[in-house]
Chains A and B, each alone.
Chain A
Amino acid sequence: MLKVDEKDKAKLLEPLFTASPRFWGFILLLLAVMGWGAFMYGRQVLFGLGETGMQRPVFWGVYMVNFVFFIGISHAGTLISAILRVTGAEWRRSITRVAEAITAVALIVGSLQIVIDMGRPERFFYVFRYGRLQSPLLWDAISVTAYLLGSLTYLYLPLIPDAALLRDHFPENGRRWQKRLYTLLAIGWRGNRQQWLRLEKAIAVMAVLIIPIAVSVHTIISWILATTVQPGWHSTIFGPYFVVGAIFSGIGALFVAMTVVRRVMGLEDYITGRQYRNLGLLFIVMNAVWMYFTYAEYLTLAAGQEANEFPVLASKLWGEFAPGFWTMVALMVMAFWIMVAPLLLPARAVKKGLFHPLASWGTAVIALLSALSLAGRLPMFASLPVVIGALALSLFLAGMGVAAWFKTRPVGATALAAIFVLVGMWLERWNIIAPTMTHPYLVDYATYQPTMTEYAITAASFALFIFLFTVFLKLFPAVSVWEVMEGRVIEAERAKVHIPLPEPSRARRSLRGAGD
């Protein structure tokens, strides 16, 4: 019988054996959406891909966008949790399980998009039977398969001690199949020294292995586009650009998932401000790096004005894709501000007038005035520099007005930024795939309007993602129990030893002394 803390047992283990009507209602809702998607997919298989909005030259559409998006999200997990494990970040302990679950689930849903996109899904296994290693699609099949198997292993290994805990603390009136499942997954875990050593070694090896695989996965997805000669895709920076975007959206997905899990399951004591603060810093960095890559990619296109590539860029900047493109940019800038503003704001600034919600009223008035000026109703302010200045001022005031609000609500603010980033990253993939498809070399420029089939299957894919994630968390603890327990022991031992740290000035003095 393995030992477990009473509080952990109540918070993490016991909810797995009960289910509220609300839970079943939620599951039913997801099943309904998935059923709708399955029905539409059935029609698509029966009548052909003509049921979608795809055509010539838009041969790839929403399914491909979803594919890149979901595989991107899968970087949440394993990569982040693996990096944090390898670097020995203690605060990772309570979020690794959620992160790894996202990875496995997102990979399953993401790979499914390729099958959905195929004209002849029954020939899927030809990819393995007749696979040509020269095709980037086969590189992708290999790397995604490797990543999926690696991620499942990496999800399973830290699950073994938890499964053993569940086996040992299984309630009398519990369902028997569930007990059998835990017994099977625990593979005879007793928690003796040798087992621990082996487990630690296996996790350490997997954590190191999974990092290059994860990087390869999204690099290769970018190469599917970049190895063609199509305008706007044939870019050398696509590999790193996509990896950065994937990690960025992965952190976003992790933030949203851990906020929901924390709220729904009441895990405020496990997932604390510390996780939000530390991961938030990484989130800000990835946002900046993503911005940098985006700017670098588009600046070179804009400066070159190559006859076939420039129309693609123009369609994003002021053409038919401009709304999506600028929404993406705005969302990313707002996410950046939401994460950075609270860090820049001194604590006592919260009480200052500029940061009062009233400032947002000022914003509203200025925005209204500039909108009226643009519409020509207020001719005295109608010069363009005045309007731009007014918009900038209203943006500034809006930013100031909400900064304090975000500072006092770090969790909500981070979740909001994460949702912005997820939507923005979906749009980013759309903005990369669709404009190039509609602006080919020797075919008339086209427009692409997805149909109900694509909407339904996209909705069903998101529902499937949430469904698998929910089911996983209903079967296994949302927080790795043994890792948290281990962390507590380490913290307690550390707390006993107090080593006074030297003042920075003294440290410098001693350094100078050492140099003499």
Chain B
Amino acid sequence: MTKWAMIVDLDKCVACQGCSIACRHENNTPAISPEEAAMGRAIRWNDVFPNPVNGTEEAGAYPHVRTRYLPRPCMHCENPPCVKVCPVQGTFQDENGTVRQNYARCIGCRFCTVACPYGARYFNWHDPYWSPEMARCLNPDRVVGRDDLEGPAVRLRGVVEKCTFCIQRLYAAQDRAAAEGRDFRPDEYVPACVQTCTAKARYFGDLDDPDSTVAMLSQNPRAFRLLEDVGTRPKVIYLREG
């Protein structure tokens, strides 16, 4: 069984936010007005923000001040608090351990957004809006099934959405392999943020394969996970900044 995981090397990350932009275009997250964004309603599946967020730890005294940045996709926890609380299975963990979101099922109770300690889940407070030029450039991909709508399919108001490790890219890669009549290899699939990363700070792969890059890097002494003490066991692993 594959277990998709991501490594983010904070030593290499330059906080350029390229991952956020790539994610935005791959996954059709809507643009919103500055006023709405100031209220905290911007949707950024892959956010980059200063860490510590609220200055609960010392960031250093002048002149030894140092700002550290943290790129944050969904952690795809092995013990996801959001999946546990969802009343309708609108969010679920698939067989590869990826935490996914079904927009056709979500009732918009926002229990998952409240339960997620990482703030990785976003709610559609209004219907999404794109300027006509941008609307022409939307990603046409979608993951559909019976009672199922996932991936970059445009979300309407009132549902929750989140990073899915670009699930549509996994299906596309698997379909390609099937069409070419060969087995699917785990290195054929990466999310958009990993593909675009300017500093090559992100690695993606199968954590269950001991020979994969992510499995080897996860053993690195610099490896840590966000909020380890809340017991969510994220599959996004960071390498500490030196």
Which A positions have Cβ atoms within 8 angstroms of B? 47-50, 54-60, 114, 117-120, 123-124, 126-127, 129-132, 134-138, 141, 224, 227-230, 307-308, 311, 437, 439-446
Q: What is the CA–CA distance of A132 and B114 in the complex, to the nearest angstrom? A: 18
A59 in contact with B227 (CB, 8 Å): no
Known contacts: A55-B40, A127-B88, A137-B87. The answer to whether A229 contacts B126 by CB under 8 A is: no
Could you name 13 residue pairs across A and B whose Cβ atoms are closer than 8 Å?
A: A47-B157, A48-B127, A58-B40, A119-B106, A120-B158, A123-B107, A123-B108, A135-B87, A229-B115, A441-B53, A442-B53, A443-B119, A444-B49
> When A and B form their complex, which 8 residue pairs have the shortest distance between CB atoms, in order from nearest?
A119-B108, A119-B158, A50-B125, A48-B157, A443-B119, A137-B87, A50-B126, A55-B40
Task: List residues of B (21-57) whose CB comes within 8 Å of A's CBs.
Answer: 36, 39-41, 49, 53-54, 56-57
- A442 in complex: contacting residue of B41, B119, B158, CB < 8 Å: B119
Segment of B78-86, B178-186, B187-195 engaged in the interface with chain A? B78-86
B36 in contact with A311 (CB, 8 Å): no
> B33 to chain A: closest CB distance in Å?
11
Please name the residue on chain A nearest to B117 by beta carbon: A441
Any chain A CB within 8 A of the CB of B123? yes
Any chain A CB within 8 A of the CB of B89? yes
Please name the residue on chain B nearest to A58 by beta carbon: B40
B81 in contact with A228 (CB, 8 Å): yes
By a CB distance below 8 angstroms, the chain B residues around A130 are: 88-89, 105
Any chain A CB within 8 A of the CB of B224? no
B109 in contact with A114 (CB, 8 Å): yes
By a CB distance below 8 angstroms, the chain A residues around B41 are: 50, 55-56
Q: What is the CA–CA distance of A432 and B167 in the complex, to the nearest angstrom? A: 37
Any chain A CB within 8 A of the CB of B61? no
By a CB distance below 8 angstroms, the chain B residues around A230 are: 114-115, 117
A119 in contact with B124 (CB, 8 Å): yes
Q: What is the CA–CA distance of A118 and B106 in the complex, to the nearest angstrom? A: 10
By a CB distance below 8 angstroms, the chain B residues around A307 are: 56-57
Any chain A CB within 8 A of the CB of B113? yes
Q: What is the CA–CA distance of A151 and B123 in the complex, to the nearest angstrom? A: 35
- B125 in complex: contacting residue of A48, A117, A224, CB < 8 Å: A48
Any chain A CB within 8 A of the CB of B1? no
Known contacts: A440-B117, A442-B227. The answer to whether A135 contacts B86 by CB under 8 A is: yes
By a CB distance below 8 angstroms, the chain B residues around A119 are: 106-110, 123-124, 157-160
- A132 in complex: contacting residue of B88, B110, B125, CB < 8 Å: B88
Q: Which of B56, B88, B226 neighbours the largest number of chain A CB atoms within 10 Å of its CB? A: B88
Q: What is the CA–CA distance of A114 and B89 in the complex, to the nearest angstrom? A: 18
> B118 to chain A: closest CB distance in Å?
5
> A292 to chain B: closest CB distance in Å?
28
Known contacts: A55-B39, A60-B114, A441-B117. The answer to whether A118 contacts B124 by CB under 8 A is: no
By a CB distance below 8 angstroms, the chain B residues around A57 are: 40, 113, 119
By a CB distance below 8 angstroms, the chain B residues around A55 are: 39-41, 125
Q: What is the CA–CA distance of A439 and B157 in the complex, to the nearest angstrom? A: 25
Q: What is the CA–CA distance of A369 and B157 in the complex, to the nearest angstrom? A: 56
By a CB distance below 8 angstroms, the chain B residues around A124 are: 107
Q: What is the CA–CA distance of A134 and B53 in the complex, to the nearest angstrom? A: 32
> A446 to chain B: closest CB distance in Å?
6
Q: What is the CA–CA distance of A230 and B115 in the complex, to the nearest angstrom? A: 7
Any chain A CB within 8 A of the CB of B69? no
Known contacts: A117-B109, A445-B54. The answer to whether A137 contacts B85 by CB under 8 A is: yes
Interface residues of chain A: helix, strand, loop or mixed (majority): loop
Q: Which of A49, A114, A443 neighbours the largest number of chain B CB atoms within 10 Å of its CB? A: A443
Q: What is the CA–CA distance of A120 and B149 in the complex, to the nearest angstrom? A: 15
Any chain A CB within 8 A of the CB of B231? yes
B109 in contact with A118 (CB, 8 Å): yes
Q: What is the CA–CA distance of A440 and B89 in the complex, to the nearest angstrom? A: 24
Q: What is the CA–CA distance of A55 and B124 in the complex, to the nearest angstrom? A: 10
B111 in contact with A224 (CB, 8 Å): yes
Known contacts: A48-B157, A124-B107, A441-B227. The answer to whether A56 contacts B122 by CB under 8 A is: yes
Any chain A CB within 8 A of the CB of B72? yes
A134 in contact with B117 (CB, 8 Å): no
Known contacts: A120-B158, A130-B89, A442-B226. The answer to whether A50 contacts B36 by CB under 8 A is: yes
By a CB distance below 8 angstroms, the chain B residues around A60 are: 110, 114
Q: What is the CA–CA distance of A441 and B36 in the complex, to the nearest angstrom? A: 22
Please name the residue on chain A nearest to B44 by beta carbon: A56
Please name the residue on chain B nearest to A56 by beta carbon: B40
Any chain A CB within 8 A of the CB of B230? yes
Q: What is the CA–CA distance of A123 and B231 in the complex, to the nearest angstrom? A: 32
Known contacts: A119-B107, A119-B158. The answer to whether A47 contacts B126 by CB under 8 A is: yes
B157 in contact with A134 (CB, 8 Å): no
Q: What is the CA–CA distance of A275 and B27 in the complex, to the nearest angstrom? A: 63
Please name the residue on chain A nearest to B82 by beta carbon: A228
Known contacts: A50-B36, A126-B105, A311-B54. The answer to whether A228 contacts B157 by CB under 8 A is: no
By a CB distance below 8 angstroms, the chain B residues around A440 are: 117, 119
By a CB distance below 8 angstroms, the chain B residues around A131 are: 87-88
Q: A442-B117, A442-B119 are in contact. List 18 more A-B contacts (CB 8 A).
A: A54-B125, A56-B40, A118-B109, A119-B106, A119-B158, A119-B159, A123-B108, A126-B107, A127-B88, A130-B89, A135-B85, A137-B87, A141-B87, A229-B115, A229-B232, A441-B53, A441-B227, A444-B54
Q: What is the CA–CA distance of A119 and B126 in the complex, to the nearest angstrom? A: 10
Please name the residue on chain B nearest to A139 by beta carbon: B87
By a CB distance below 8 angstroms, the chain A residues around B89 are: 130, 132
Known contacts: A55-B40, A119-B110. The answer to whether A132 contacts B119 by CB under 8 A is: no
Known contacts: A56-B123, A130-B105. The answer to whether A444 contacts B53 by CB under 8 A is: yes
> A50 to chain B: closest CB distance in Å?
3
B107 in contact with A118 (CB, 8 Å): yes
Please name the residue on chain A nearest to B37 by beta carbon: A55
By a CB distance below 8 angstroms, the chain A residues around B124 are: 48, 119
By a CB distance below 8 angstroms, the chain B residues around A137 are: 85, 87, 109, 111
> A3 to chain B: closest CB distance in Å?
52
Known contacts: A119-B107, A137-B109, A444-B53. The answer to whether A437 contacts B87 by CB under 8 A is: no
